[in-house]
Amino acid sequence: MTSARYKRVLVKLSGEALTGEHSFGISGEFLSYVAREIRAVYDLGVQLALVVGGGNIFRGVSAASFGMDRTSADHMGMLATVINSIALQDALEKAGMETRVQTAIHMHEVAEPYILRKAIRHLEKGRVVIFAAGTGNPYFTTDTAAVLRAQEIHAEILLKATKVDTLYDDDPEKNPNAKPILRASHKEVMDKSLRVMDMTAISLARDNRLPIGIFNLRTQGAIRGAICGESIGTYIGD
């Protein structure tokens, strides 16, 4: 069996990825697929934390653009991540993994409050920990929350599972001539404004020397391959 290169990893899943072939909501079929992909990593004995976005349900920045107060919109976006996290927890537990959801906004009836030491203890016991509700503050994306949580739990790498195979020098959906970038430094991503994550997240990762892997969630085995050190997608780091 291929061994894992990393012992503790945080995986950032985009909310949009959970739609599967649909344009909105949660695809039960795709959620089951994600659970199988996570199970393949879980079986390696890797300590695994997850952050999932909420864009498939509600995106705060988009709502603010048509007149909604940004703080209200962002709070709604945070609650959308909780819905996704609970759905993901259900899928993971059906696949045989013990999980815990911790939220930055307290809602004791559905999840634990975020407590760092408790989260680390869950990881040490082999539980998958899902961090929901972003940072609990408006104006911060789930990308920034993912970098923050990765730093707090001392993850060795942050893996961002997206809808594209690699990082590109331009938006591949708008520019068919966009070129893939297989390796880059944090500084290069910031200097060229490569939109893989928001600049706050990239800056925080750079300041703390946190490497980031970018890959397509729809590629079967990609999460396991990235954790085992295979050349999959884009690597951002020194």
User: pLDDT (tens digit, 9 = 90+) per residue, 107-140?
Assistant: 999 999 999 999 999 999 999 999 999 999 999 9
pLDDT at 7: 96
pLDDT at 25: 86
Q: HEC string of the chain?
A: CCCCCCCEEEEEECHHHHHCCCCCCCCHHHHHHHHHHHHHHHCCCCEEEEEECCCCCCCHHHHHHCCCCHHHHHHHHHHHHHHHHHHHHHHHHHCCCCEEEEECCCCCCCCEECCHHHHHHHHHCCCEEEEECCCCCCCCCHHHHHHHHHHHCCCCEEEEEECCCCEECCCCCCCCCCCEECEECHHHHHHCCCCCCCHHHHHHHHHCCCCEEEEECCCCCHHHHHHCCCCCCEEECC
pLDDT at 47: 98
User: pLDDT (tens digit, 9 = 90+) per residue, 186-210?
Assistant: 999 999 888 888 899 999 999 999 9
| Domains of the chain in sequence order | 8-236 (3.40.1160.10)
Pairing state between β 47-52 and 128-132: parallel
- Assess contact for 165 and 219: CB atoms under 8 A: yes
pLDDT at 195: 81
Q: What is the mean pLDDT of residues 141-156?
A: 97
pTM: 0.93
Q: How confident is the model at residue 215 (pLDDT cuts 50, 70, 90)?
A: very high
Percentage of residues in the chain having pLDDT higher than 70: 96
